Amino acid sequence: MSKKKYVLVGTGARARMFYEALARDYREHGELVALCDTNQTRMDYTNKVLVEEFGLEQLPTYKAEDFGRMLDETGADVVIVTSIDRTHHLYIIAALEAGRDVITEKPMTTDVVKCQQIIDTAKRTGRSVRVTFNYRYAPHNAAVHDIIASGGIGEVFSVHFEWLLDTKHGADYFRRWHRDKRNSGGLMVHKSTHHFDLVNFWLQSQPQTVFGMGDLRFYGRANAEERGLFTPYTRTTEVQAAKADPFAIDLTDSPVQKSLYWDAEHEDGYQRDQNVFGDGISIEDTMQVMVRYQNRTVMTYSLNTYAPWEGFNVAFNGSKGRIELMVRETSYINAGGASDAEGAAKGIQLYHFPLHGEPRIVPVVMGEGGHGGGDNRMLADIFGAANSGAAFAADFRDGAMSILTGLAANRSFQTGLPVNVSELVNF
């Protein structure tokens, strides 16, 4: 079998998962043959890692405007898209038009117009677009899927889903390009695409009606000032006044962050360490949404971005029982000898309550690597020979459906009205 040739667009933080997999674990199946980005420093850093850590040759680098030339010169089979969200559609569409397949990071794109363009191009060209929904592959999320699919709680009537981002990870969205809704679609699209995809996947259904309310209440200058907090800096690296700010980061503290962002700023002016209590944030930090699915299941969902711990709770009520899944991803709860607290703080608890039967704790075996081994399972599925998890693979329809809930919620935030999802794009 000949090796597939891959090119990668967007050589920031997320790119590493893909190039590392190709450089280390899937050398026999595929080969990364070129890099593309708007920023030469980040491409050079990626090459440095490939040479020094993986013993590979330097790859040719192409600026964004030379994307088409890169496809021609390398003869690439597949384009991996890990650039910032608002640019995904450019590369997905150009790759499909050039007869290439695509693996894209989530969210597939950030608005309904671009989403429609991707749907139309994917259908017309018949090429493959895979969206890398790694959460599907996480063992606890897969276990929920299996209980529901096997009829373990009968027909699912309602879902209650709460996601919490903490003041480390959650705050990070307010430092980076994500803070501008034009770049990310806001967290309803950028972040919740994962969660809405999970619900579509768990229920094997699609959103029909969405109603939501969202606001910026915690981050941003105006909110901070209302709480009597004034932070007189726009960014935080090497800023003396920011040293005591628990929300401040210093990019020079981490060699990777320094190389990827601080040393690369002279090219594009992108600052990865903006003050979360500064001006210019156009995304929400507090979001509540109700969704009715085509199969009549109704979900209540919330996303909070300034929580003391990170993780989620989700419960399903069905005709034959209930499932509860609690996942504490990070916490600053000090166990202090209280074993329950420790288990709850760090762990994953999955309960299955059959309607008239014995409740049971469903064992969840976590794997190595990100998302409980989910990232590795997904990489094996994408790059390996086995195609190990075809049931978990997400295509452009899944990519579209998962952002439509968020795009509808964004519209509902603005209008105060419910949104009919079928009016957003045409499949």
**Chain contacts with ligand NAD (rule: CB under 6 A):** 9-14, 37-39, 42, 64, 82-85, 87, 105-106, 132, 134, 177, 190
- Rama region for 314: left / alpha / beta (φ>0; ψ in -120 to 50; rest): beta
Beta-carbon contacts of 405 under 8 Å, excluding residues fewer than 6 positions away, are 188, 192, 196, 199, 207, 210, 289, 291, 421
3-state SS assignment for residue 366: coil
Q: Output the smallest distance, CB 63 to ligand NAD, in A.
A: 9
Q: Output the smallest distance, CB 356 to ligand NAD, in A.
A: 39
- Which residue type does 425 have? V
In terms of Cβ atoms closer than 10 Å to its own Cβ (0-12, 13-18, 19+), residue 404 is buried
- Nearest CB to ligand NAD, comparing residues 200 and 297: 200
- Strands of 268-388 (E only): list them: 286-293, 298-307, 310-318, 321-330, 348-354, 360-361
In the complex, which residue's CB is closest to ligand NAD?
Answer: 12
- Nearest CB to ligand NAD, comparing residues 110 and 297: 110
Q: Output the smallest distance, CB 398 to ligand NAD, in A.
A: 14
Q: Output the smallest distance, CB 198 to ligand NAD, in A.
A: 12
- Nearest CB to ligand NAD, comparing residues 13 and 298: 13
What does DSSP assign to residue 180?
Answer: S
Q: Output the smallest distance, CB 337 to ligand NAD, in A.
A: 34
Cα–Cα distance between 362 and 104 in angstroms, integer? 32
- Nearest CB to ligand NAD, comparing residues 208 and 398: 398
Cα–Cα distance between 400 and 292 in angstroms, integer? 17
Tokens for 121, please give them: 């191009």
- Nearest CB to ligand NAD, comparing residues 84 and 394: 84
Q: Output the smallest distance, CB 281 to ligand NAD, in A.
A: 17
- Nearest CB to ligand NAD, comparing residues 84 and 142: 84
